[in-house]
Structure 1
Amino acid sequence: MKNLLSFFARNQSLIYKVFLFIVSTLLLIYLLPKGGQFKYNFQKGKPWQYENLYAPFSFSIKKSDEVLKKEQQEIRDNSIPYFDFDTETITDVETNFHDNLDLEYVDSLYTTSKRTVERLGEGVIKEIYANGFSDEILPYDDDKLIYLKRGNEIEERKYSQLFKKRNLDKKVREVVEKNKAEDIQPLLYNLLNESLEPNVKLNNKLTQSSIDAEIKALNPNRGVIEKGGRIIAKGEVVEGDKYQILESLKAEYQSQIWSKNNYLWLLVGYSLLVSLVFLMLFLFLKKYRSDIYHNNTKVTFIFFNVFLMVFLTTLIVKVHSDYVYVIPICILPLILKAFFDPRVGLFVHVLTVLLLGFIVPNSFEYMFLQFIAGIVTILTVSELYKRANLFISVGQITLIYIIGYFAFYVIQEGNIQTIPVENFGYFILCGLATLFAHPLIYFYEKLFGLVSDVSLLELSDTNSKLLKELSNKAPGTFHHSLNVANLAEASANEIGANSMLVRVGALYHDIGKMLNPTMFTENQVNSINSHTELDPKESARIIIDHVIKGIEIARKNNLPDRVIDFIRTHHGTTLVYYFYAKEREIQGKANKEDFIYPGPIPFSKETAILMMADSVEAASKSLKEPSSTIVEELVEKIVNNQMDQGQFLNADITFKEIQLIKRVLKKKLNNIFHLRVEYPE
């Protein structure tokens, strides 16, 4: 039991990665569509590249989406609407008519008797309500057939047989003219107008149910291909009827292969493919990005983003596959580039798109567009902390999507008359969604404890609390840090390293000197040296401790690990030579271990640059009469000495890059120490 616990303790990082690998694979298999993969790839408008294809089994030819939509629309257009007929309304209308007649009829005003008015009104009411009265404005022709529902009985009528209120004036005029009672026309019209109530109303629910039933009964097939029948010959163009038959075969094949008998084998196949993708990701990180591979938080972050993209795509495809291009897949390489580097972003993007190929329709078209868009994202998005850069890059990505989709459509259809313009809107929405990268980066920083260039920009502000404290307590160190930051930033730009990261690292690399500023020469305001009365070992310990103290201060102020790395490594495992030599001079011997910084040595280009810039800038302050030759010799001597000590062995930096850095340091220092014109007093 003890040995088992010891094994888990020693290999907990590896065990976690295995666990992450298994869980991610299972989750993705669950999300993948439950159907076999058709073994032929084809595109509309392209020649059939395989041998003659014969039907492996009998199957039905599916109607195309366009045909089905057309037939469904015909059903809607030709459907017979249902109307509810209320038989009780006529009684209420007659009662209201008689009441209004009693109130408004005056004998002295009309020659026609009240009884005649009553008789004429009752006749009009009976005639109006014989087929029903409706005041709804509906888009039906007069000849449109309708169903009139009276209780449990349904009668057929023409829509024109329903009485409309707009016809009331005409109806009253006909009645009074026929009965030679023109003097009561206004009265009769007003009485009926006030009394009439509609008793026929469209039954939307019943009408829609009838339409739905007809659509449901619609046959999705238009024919059958018998087993052994030739479907397409080699070299034939996949278009029209051939394309629809191939799509039908593909759907039938995927439906039949996902059966209980071979369910397990299909799972095995999916497991192997998904496992290969994740295995390639692990191998890439282990070989080329070991710092990420050994950091479980960063590995989890990458896997989380891959799973998130697959999950969102699966969700959208289930809702409506046309919206698949709205998902901002390019946000993945953009975010990974912000936290890591372009190669990691592109590699993970490619693997993710390969997984999405199992899910989306028209997988070749989709993967091609996403690959190109991902490459454009990596090539265009730089200095993400500059807001304009993100907008420009998103515009370029959206343009690439539109151009690529347009090209595919022209190849497949051979014309642009029927191109679905709304799809271009999806690409624009995708671009707008990609702008969500900034808030998402902030969220990831808080959730995973990572740091991006956006955060680095905030940390580079010299008015921040920690840097202000440094400038107040150790002004000499603060000035030294600013100079080092300028030298390091210029060097990083020269070799293509992360200039913002190295600048921030340079600003904070000496914050440990705040606790004992006068023990460092740059902060001593007079000729008194605090080290003169101290033992060389004690002096060396104070000097070395500024690294440890700096790390403590950085952690207390929640500085990111990427910045703390510069504090840890800016002296590597070098020797505090001055006090080492002084100890040897006094004692006749000295133990090197007492005078060596704890390290580690730089493990990135950026930390290596800081070591060079820091040492060169500090040493240049001791030059009494600096000249171009002296400065160049100083830079060569210091950097070469660091190389001889093996300080850059883990830094992934080349000799050529070191030479370029030397050249930048020489140029910058010469600019600082250039001779000025002596002005007369």
Structure 2
Amino acid sequence: MNVLLNKWYKNHALIYKILLFLLTTLFIVYLFPKTGKFRYSFEKGKPWQSENLYAPFNFAIKKSQEEIENEQIDIRKTSPVFFEVDPAIKDVVLNDYLTAFNRTFADSIYISTQNTSLYKSGRSLIDRLFDNGVLDTEYSFNKDRPVNLVFDNQIQKELVFNDLFQIGSLRPTIEIHFGSDISVNDKNRMISLFFDIIKPNVSLNNILTDKTLEEELLKVSLTRGSIEKDQLIISKGQVVEEEQFAVLDSLKSEYESQVWNTANYNWVLVAYTLLVALALLMLLLFLRKYRLEVFLNNTKVTFIFFNIVLMIFLTTLVINYNSQYIYIVPLCILPLVLKAFFDARLGLFAHVLTVLLLGFIVPNSYEYMFLQIIAGIVTILTVSELYKRANLFISVGQITFIYIIAYFAFFVIHEGQVANLKWETFGLFILCGLATLFVQPLIYIYEKIFGLVSDVSLLELSDTNTKLLKELSNRAPGTFHHSLNVANLAEASANEIGANAMLVRVGALYHDIGKMNNPTFYTENQSNGINPHEELSNKESAGIIIDHVIQGIEIAKKNNLPDRVIDFIRTHHGTSLVYYFYMKEKSINEEDVNIEDFSYPGPKPFSKETAILMMCDSVEAASKSLKEPTSTKINDFVENIVTKQMESGQFLNANITFKEIQSIKKVLKHKLANIYHLRIEYPE
């Protein structure tokens, strides 16, 4: 059991990476579409570029959304409307008519004769009005709309809406009915009488009407016609007309839905898993081969995987909502963030892999992938010194411009014209550019969550008014001045060979903070002529000098300095000797000298930046011993120091070339010549 636990403990970092790899793969596959992917791409009005296409199985031709909507509109216009009829109201109206007629014409000749022509004419009008029914309110139905009259929950009469009588047309109906057969005064009396007695007996039955409409809408067929297996759908080079487009679109939908039964779907999942795993494996292999420091740090690997998953997740959300807004996702944030925390090559590599994975789920995948890869390359090439806000705005503007140019080119290729150019897509690119500016606060958030450091934080650390640097300047002013000189030399050297100038400057400012504990043991801080080393043995003196590295690391961690800065403290002396005390001890006791007692513990520099600091630190410190410096002396001085470091193998672990070392030596010679330049002696 103990053996097993020991193995787990020794390999816990590798086990974590395997679990992270598997979980990330499964989550990305979960986000992918749960169907197969149609292998052909096509557009209406464009030639069919693939081989002759035959139907692989029987399938129905789908109606377009426009066709379905038109049918639904027709059904809404022609679906029957149901009205409830109250037959008792007519009897009430007839009784009211008799009473009202006798009262209205009490002073006329009609009162004594209810069987007169006027009374009978009014009675016939009431029969006509209530023959189909009088509506209770105004309705906006079409006059030819079918109507069913319901008596006691049973349909007893079918007619059209125009057959029903509306109260609003009562006056003209009465005037037409009586015409010129009676006097104007009698006609007005009859109009007033009818307005008093006529009551509606027909009202809309909403429940039955809506139910019938819903049933009719459900009967709308979503297909029209069918295609038989092995039937030719389209030939190579044939233009995709509207009919062929409908057939191809139907085949695509059928292929991505019904074709994938449970067995096939499982195979699709396996295939997706293999491809996603392959892409993520390439990323891990890249880190293992070219970014070993990142690979060994589980936090950094998690950070990279998290950003890839985040971009895929956001893109999936947008596609599920509306794929037309796909270009609003600021995918270029990914290379920006990775470049800010790591380097450009890693940022571009991860960006390309992410775009390849998104190619499985986005429409027009080739166009999307081309645009995003080009934008990612532009991001890497243009964004430098992200801590300068102007640089970010300029780069985002360039990225947006590249998006617009590339999209315009694709549109012209597909359409052959610019008349139907979708200007709203350009607006999406602009919104994408504005969203990309969110990278600044996002970097700050990532620094707090993952404990990483970017150039933005390095800029803050480079301020000499920070608490730690002010303490260094107060307690060890000579060391502080030395650190400033080294920082200037290192920054100039880094700019010369394209290294991270901000990182090496910050590393130089903090590399000797361990000397704060015993400042008087270092010559740059000895201002009173007293040297405490005179009271110590050579071995003790060497131990104190060597300890400033360990003490510097402790101070840095206590003040929460980033690991990238602490690396400079660890490596700025590598495994070199405290040469002065070693030679002094050797002169006293030549045979019994343990070289390890006079050697720094290391490690050796493992990057261009840490190698630059070692060279600049050694040259600047030793330059104080130059007497009557000349150009020749400075050249030989720099050559000797750097050559000695190379011969002792201090740069073997750093990815720095001989050519770059030569360039750094030129910068150091030039800078020292400027510092120690000779002036003309002016007469007193």
Q: TM-score, normalised by structure 1?
A: 0.82
Q: Deviations over 1:638-657 (max 9, x none)?
A: 11111111111111111111
> Per the alignment, do residues 293 and 215 of structure 1 end up closer, same or farther by CA in structure 2, a change over 3 Å counting?
farther
Give the Å deviation of 1:161.
8.5
Q: Do the aligned residues in 2 keep the contact of 1:82 with 1:149 (CA within 8 Å)? A: no
Within-5 A mapping of 1:437-586:
437-586=439-588
Give the Å deviation of 1:481.
0.9
Q: Deviations over 1:578-619 (max 9, x none)?
A: 011111123334221011111100111111111111111111
Query: More deviation in 42-51 or 444-453?
Result: 42-51
Once residues 387 and 611 of structure 1 are traced to their aligned partners in structure 2, the CA distance between those partners, rounded to angstroms, is: 31
Structure 1 segments unaligned to the other structure (5+ residues): 92-122, 172-176, 183-191, 193-198
Q: Do the aligned residues in 2 keep the contact of 1:312 with 1:327 (CA within 8 Å)? A: yes
Once residues 677 and 210 of structure 1 are traced to their aligned partners in structure 2, the CA distance between those partners, rounded to angstroms, is: 109
Q: Do the aligned residues in 2 keep the contact of 1:616 with 1:635 (CA within 8 Å)? A: yes
> Per the alignment, do residues 209 and 409 of structure 1 end up closer, same or farther by CA in structure 2, a change over 3 Å counting?
farther
Within-5 A mapping of 1:22-33:
22-33=22-33
Q: Do the aligned residues in 2 keep the contact of 1:144 with 1:159 (CA within 8 Å)? A: no
> Per the alignment, do residues 158 and 605 of structure 1 end up closer, same or farther by CA in structure 2, a change over 3 Å counting?
farther
Q: Deviations over 1:468-522 (max 9, x none)?
A: 1111111111111111111111111111111111111111111111111111111
Q: Do the aligned residues in 2 keep the contact of 1:491 with 1:664 (CA within 8 Å)? A: yes
Once residues 524 and 241 of structure 2 are traced to their aligned partners in structure 1, the CA distance between those partners, rounded to angstroms, is: 79
Query: More deviation in 477-486 or 408-417?
Result: 408-417
> Per the alignment, do residues 78 and 248 of structure 1 end up closer, same or farther by CA in structure 2, a change over 3 Å counting?
closer
Once residues 263 and 572 of structure 2 are traced to their aligned partners in structure 1, the CA distance between those partners, rounded to angstroms, is: 63
Q: 1:301 aligns with which of 298, 303, 308?
A: 303
> Per the alignment, do residues 581 and 263 of structure 1 end up closer, same or farther by CA in structure 2, a change over 3 Å counting?
same
Give 2:193's aligned residue. Answer: none
Give the Å deviation of 1:212.
7.5
Q: Do the aligned residues in 2 keep the contact of 1:286 with 1:293 (CA within 8 Å)? A: yes
Report the residue type matching 1:231 in the other structure. Answer: I
Q: Do the aligned residues in 2 keep the contact of 1:332 with 1:345 (CA within 8 Å)? A: yes
Give 1:342's aligned residue. Answer: 344
Give 1:14's aligned residue. Answer: 14
> Per the alignment, do residues 665 and 215 of structure 1 end up closer, same or farther by CA in structure 2, a change over 3 Å counting?
farther
Give the Å deviation of 1:224.
2.0
Greater Rg, structure 1 or structure 2? 2
> Per the alignment, do residues 296 and 153 of structure 1 end up closer, same or farther by CA in structure 2, a change over 3 Å counting?
farther
Query: More deviation in 506-515 or 34-43?
Result: 34-43
Q: Do the aligned residues in 1 keep the contact of 2:144 with 2:160 (CA within 8 Å)? A: no
Give 1:391's aligned residue. Answer: 393
Q: How many residues align?
A: 626
Q: Deviations over 1:42-76 (max 9, x none)?
A: 5666644433221111222334xxx4146526745
Give 1:416's aligned residue. Answer: 418
Report the aligned-residue RMSD: 3.9
Once residues 200 and 676 of structure 1 are traced to their aligned partners in structure 2, the CA distance between those partners, rounded to angstroms, is: 112
Q: 1:364 aligns with which of 366, 382, 387?
A: 366
Asked if 1:609 is matched to 2:612, the reply is yes
Query: More deviation in 17-26 or 206-215?
Result: 206-215
> Per the alignment, do residues 160 and 324 of structure 1 end up closer, same or farther by CA in structure 2, a change over 3 Å counting?
farther
Report the residue type matching 2:65 in the other structure. Answer: L
Once residues 224 and 252 of structure 2 are traced to their aligned partners in structure 1, the CA distance between those partners, rounded to angstroms, is: 16
Report the residue type matching 1:349 in the other structure. Answer: H
Instruction: Give the secondary structure class of the aligned counterpart of 2:18.
Output: helix
Q: Do the aligned residues in 2 keep the contact of 1:141 with 1:159 (CA within 8 Å)? A: no
Q: Do the aligned residues in 1 keep the contact of 2:141 with 2:161 (CA within 8 Å)? A: no
Give the Å deviation of 1:235.
3.1
Once residues 236 and 428 of structure 2 are traced to their aligned partners in structure 1, the CA distance between those partners, rounded to angstroms, is: 36
Once residues 209 and 598 of structure 1 are traced to their aligned partners in structure 2, the CA distance between those partners, rounded to angstroms, is: 87
Q: TM-score, normalised by structure 2?
A: 0.82
Q: Do the aligned residues in 2 keep the contact of 1:146 with 1:159 (CA within 8 Å)? A: no
Within-5 A mapping of 1:32-71:
32-42=32-42, 47-63=47-63, 67-69=64-66, 71=68
> Per the alignment, do residues 249 and 579 of structure 1 end up closer, same or farther by CA in structure 2, a change over 3 Å counting?
same
Once residues 571 and 548 of structure 2 are traced to their aligned partners in structure 1, the CA distance between those partners, rounded to angstroms, is: 12
Give the Å deviation of 1:272.
1.4
Give 1:436's aligned residue. Answer: 438
Give 2:69's aligned residue. Answer: 72
Q: Do the aligned residues in 2 keep the contact of 1:44 with 1:413 (CA within 8 Å)? A: no
> Per the alignment, do residues 358 and 77 of structure 1 end up closer, same or farther by CA in structure 2, a change over 3 Å counting?
same
Report the residue type matching 1:300 in the other structure. Answer: T
Once residues 83 and 242 of structure 2 are traced to their aligned partners in structure 1, the CA distance between those partners, rounded to angstroms, is: 49
Give 1:636's aligned residue. Answer: 639
Instruction: Give the secondary structure class of the aligned counterpart of 1:227.
Output: coil
Once residues 677 and 205 of structure 2 are traced to their aligned partners in structure 1, the CA distance between those partners, rounded to angstroms, is: 93
Report the residue type matching 1:39 in the other structure. Answer: R
Once residues 569 and 11 of structure 2 are traced to their aligned partners in structure 1, the CA distance between those partners, rounded to angstroms, is: 29
Q: 2:378 aligns with which of 376, 379, 384?
A: 376
Asked if 1:671 is matched to 2:674, the reply is yes
Asked if 1:3 is matched to 2:23, the reply is no
Overall identity of the aligned pairs, in %: 64
Q: Do the aligned residues in 2 keep the contact of 1:642 with 1:648 (CA within 8 Å)? A: yes
Q: Do the aligned residues in 2 keep the contact of 1:148 with 1:157 (CA within 8 Å)? A: no
Give the Å deviation of 1:306.
1.3
